[in-house]
Structure 1
């Protein structure tokens, strides 16, 4: 599928918020990786480091799902993209909660990401009604 971004999309509040979430999750993940990238005394790694990659992957998938839903002409296919967007948002929110329990100073920034996700959800609900 062609991912050329339609010109009107960059003005959409939902798309701009998705781009903000991508930038924020990458910054937070980089900060957390520095704290979680160590081995414990028994030689095991911190399992929370995997959630940092998950938040990047999930946040990066938000914008393409918005583009796909906007481009889709058939309502059943459009609905699949909307479901995927809701699932990604929920997973992202849950991974933020998990990372807040990690042993890192970066966890203090996760409530910022969660508040941005709450704003995204509100925009998402409004946007879904317009499709």
Structure 2
């Protein structure tokens, strides 16, 4: 992913953790999709497969929000990016709990994702104080 990064951004722990979350959520989603892509006995698909895509989409949005918050000069606009980052993190938590109820062996990896999200939130709080 190339977001035209400012040089200091790749050194930020919160940014590096966001990149780790992207890689982890992609891996989990790929693993889950193999178990959830089959049709149910009645011919319907498993609705949990959509949550696996959601965690990838939401995790991919973390890094751009960090970049936008870093680039923004006005505190009001910066605050909007920070709120968006907080919403994305909350949605990731919720979707990981939803996926944990799925019928897949990959659900065992979701507590790892939530642990990384907890670390991300701690880094996010300290990073927000520096903005």
**TM range, normalised to the smaller chain?**
over 0.9
Secondary structure in structure 1 of the residue aligned to 2:42: coil
Aligned equivalents of 2:41 and 2:13: distance in 1? 47
Provide the residue aligned with 2:44 in structure 1. Answer: 44
| Structure 1: runs of 5 or more not aligned | none
Provide the residue aligned with 2:109 in structure 1. Answer: 109
Aligned equivalents of 2:44 and 2:65: distance in 1? 36
Provide the residue aligned with 1:16 in structure 2. Answer: 16
- Residue 4 (structure 1) shift: 1.0
Matched positions, count: 129
Secondary structure in structure 1 of the residue aligned to 2:40: coil
Q: CA RMSD in A?
A: 0.5
1:1-131 → structure 2 map (5 Å cutoff): 3-131=3-131
Aligned equivalents of 2:8 and 2:128: distance in 1? 17
Aligned equivalents of 2:41 and 2:25: distance in 1? 29
Aligned equivalents of 1:35 and 1:7: distance in 2? 40
TM-score in terms of structure 2 length: 0.97
1:32-82 superposed Cα distances (whole Å, 9 cap, x missing partner): 000000111111110000001100000000000000000000000000000
Stretches of 4+ aligned residues off by more than 2 angstroms = none
Aligned equivalents of 1:100 and 1:115: distance in 2? 14
- Residue 104 (structure 1) shift: 0.1
Secondary structure in structure 2 of the residue aligned to 1:90: helix
| Structure 2: runs of 5 or more not aligned | none
- Residue 90 (structure 1) shift: 0.2
